Chain A
Amino acid sequence: MFVEFLWVLLLGSLLGFELIGKVPPTLHTPLMSGANAISGITVLAALTAIIKAGDNTALLLLGSVSLGFALFNVIGGFLVTDRMLAMFSRKPARKENR
């Protein structure tokens, strides 16, 4: 199992390195913000902790707070990235109207 996980880690890292080659400076801020939202994928870990907690209240609480932090990151991150990118994409549309 552990070796499998190491493979997953290795391949995931290589994929990440390959995905971003050239980024125009215009997109540095949105890309950072979008990737940041994705790193909130720890919601999965937080959910797992809550589900497996049984009736251990301390564990439930820890999991729930962790879930709150992760979702703050995910929801806030995606929305704020969308707000930024909306400003870029509406430009061409308006021009056509003129």
Chain B
Amino acid sequence: MSDLLKYAIELAAVLLLALGIKGLSKVRSARGANQLAAVAMALAVAGLLLNYLSTSGLSLAAWTWIIAGTLVGGVLGAITAQRVPMTSMPETVALFNGCGGMSSLLVALAAALYPAALDATGPVALVSIVVSVFVGSITFTGSIVAMAKLQGWLSTPSWMQSKLRHVVNIALAVAALVGAVEMIRNADSGTGLWLLVVSSSLLGIGVTLPIGGADMPVVISLLNSYSGVAAAAAGFVVGSQLLIVAGAMVGAAGLILTQVMCNGMNRSLISVLFGGALGAGSAAGGGGGEYTNITSCSVEECALTLEAAERVVIVPGYGLAVAQAQHTLREVTRVLETAGIDVAYAIHPVAGRMPGHMNVLLAEADVPYEQLKEMDQINPEFPAADVVLVLGANDVVNPQAKSDPNSPLYGMPVLDVQEARTVFVVKRGMSAGYSGIKNDLFELVNTSMLFGDAKKVLGDLLVELKDLGLGKK
């Protein structure tokens, strides 16, 4: 294959990848853009294989190992992508991302152990290997910890929430630096390499573990950016310009997306990374977590109130996603709509488990796109709402965020549900939200609590509404 053709394929692949990322940021073009990026990736792989086929050729052993790796990784990836429920999207992205980091790490390890075979000698290659190992390790362990925390497999040990963690993390960072310097000074000894691998892996854990669940999406986005950086570094190691461009693009785009997400949550990246879990601060402050004035009601009362309403706003949250109740919710709102009741959904920027996650879940349940209202759009409309149904949301409807400057939540954008005539809160129990902070909303006179799993409560509500004769037209 001529060099010209090789460069043409690489250029085409870069162009398609760039168009893919660009298109992914518009609702209309997103799906096509994703497919375009996939085509670009296939083109890049085909180009690389063709290039080697026409020059050095591929040995039988090489083919065998390529096919083995492709089958195992590809099939597992496809199965995971098809099987995973929409509610587990955040941890899925984290898992995929961690594997990307692992891949860069392994390539860098291969280059460090067998530099001659991969032409990875000289200071430039060494520095690239160091960067790739460092970022790859952090991406891998950080993503896996993020996944485990989101799945509820891991909780944060208490010492990790104290200031001590900064000392530990700084020590790990220093150890990684020592390993890196040792590796560059004395490439033949393996000590530096393994010190670097171990300390940066531990650093990935130490940095991610203290971060609270609500901030996890930001961290995943940041780690996604890191995996781009790791890929770019791997590009330096094996001398592939395409890899450098693509990695740099993902790294930069990931950084922008992280910033956009932070803005949406009114959090600075620094406070996400170093602030630790919100709960730690509030527990120390001792802001009385006891509820004294709770009104709870039956599903029947709720149904009667809904029947009399003209305008209902649904506030779906994390609890809805966990209970996988979006389909039941859709049936309830269908019944309300046929009875002529106006229904809207108030979507907080971080509703669900990740920005945009709730939109995906409701779209899955066939909720019309126009009924989804963003926070700025719906907040002025709450005073006109007869009933607000809060489904498994907590911190995003806490009025403290606006009223109490001492609250750790203060300044976070929230939905002003308390402005509505009646508020029903469906919740499993009186446990606190992610932040661990008491929610003043639950004690207000116009708030009634409906205790139970969101799916079950909505199912009962559906029965009650039908008994009242709604939805029969």
Q: Give the interface of A toward B (CB within 8 A).
A: 1-2, 4-5, 8-17, 19-56, 58-89, 91-92, 94-95
Contacts and interface: CB of A to CB of B under 8 A. Distances in A.
B93 A27 contact: no
Interface string B222-249: 0010011011101111111111111111
Interface in B31-62: 31, 33-35, 37-38, 41, 44-45, 48-49, 52, 56, 58-59, 61-62
Nearest to B253: A16
A65 B69 contact: yes
Contact of A52 (B86, B117, B355): B117
B291 interface: no
A74 B27 contact: no
Interface residues of B, number: 116
A73 B386 CA distance: 47
Interface in B60-112: 61-62, 65-66, 68-70, 72-74, 76-78, 80-82, 84, 86, 89-90, 92-93, 96-97, 99-100, 102-104, 106-107, 109-111
12 contacts: A10-B248, A13-B248, A20-B21, A33-B92, A34-B37, A37-B34, A37-B38, A39-B97, A41-B231, A44-B240, A45-B238, A62-B106
B110 A39 contact: no
Given A16-B253, A40-B103, A41-B231, A75 B81 contact: yes
Contact of A9 (B77, B107, B220, B232): B232
Contacts of B49: 47
A63 B458 CA distance: 51
Contacts of A25: 264, 347, 349, 355-356, 359, 374
B35 to A, nearest CB: 7
Nearest to B97: A36
A2 B469 CA distance: 75
Given A31-B25, A32-B224, A72-B76, 20 more contacts: A4-B241, A5-B241, A8-B248, A11-B245, A16-B248, A16-B251, A26-B27, A28-B217, A40-B41, A42-B234, A47-B66, A48-B238, A59-B117, A63-B110, A70-B99, A71-B73, A72-B77, A76-B76, A78-B38, A91-B363
Contacts of B45: 43-44, 47
Contact of A8 (B59, B241, B257): B241
A55 B34 contact: no
B254 interface: yes
Contacts of B317: none
B341 interface: no
A34 B220 contact: no
Given A5-B236, A34-B33, A75-B78, A41 B44 contact: yes
Interface of B: 17-18, 20-22, 24-27, 30-31, 33-35, 37-38, 41, 44-45, 48-49, 52, 56, 58-59, 61-62, 65-66, 68-70, 72-74, 76-78, 80-82, 84, 86, 89-90, 92-93, 96-97, 99-100, 102-104, 106-107, 109-111, 113-114, 117-119, 124, 217, 220-221, 224, 227-228, 230-232, 234-257, 260-261, 264, 347, 349, 354-357, 359-360, 363-364, 366, 368-369, 372, 374
A30 B236 CA distance: 29
A15 to B, nearest CB: 6
A79 B372 CA distance: 25
B354 to A, nearest CB: 5
Given A8-B241, A16-B253, A69-B100, A62 B109 contact: yes
B247 A12 contact: yes
Given A16-B253, A44-B242, A48-B240, A73 B48 contact: no
Contact of A19 (B70, B90, B249, B355): B249
B24 A27 contact: yes
Contact of A89 (B31, B89, B110, B237): B31
Contacts of B33: 34
Nearest to A47: B48
Contacts of B107: 42, 45-46, 49, 62-63, 66
Contact of A59 (B77, B96, B114): B114
Residue among B31, B232, B241, B374 facing the most chain A CB atoms (10 A cut-off): B31
Given A20-B253, A70-B99, A30 B24 contact: yes
Given A58-B113, A69-B99, A71-B74, A39 B247 contact: yes
B209 to A, nearest CB: 21
Contact of A49 (B77, B111, B236, B247): B111
A27 B30 contact: yes
A38 B264 CA distance: 24
Contacts of B250: 16, 35-36, 38-39, 41
Residue among B107, B260, B349 facing the most chain A CB atoms (10 A cut-off): B107
B360 A84 contact: yes
A36 B110 contact: no
Residue among B30, B37, B77 facing the most chain A CB atoms (10 A cut-off): B77
- 9 residue pairs, one from A and one from B, having the closest CB atoms: A16-B252, A12-B248, A76-B77, A67-B69, A71-B73, A68-B73, A79-B81, A66-B106, A28-B355
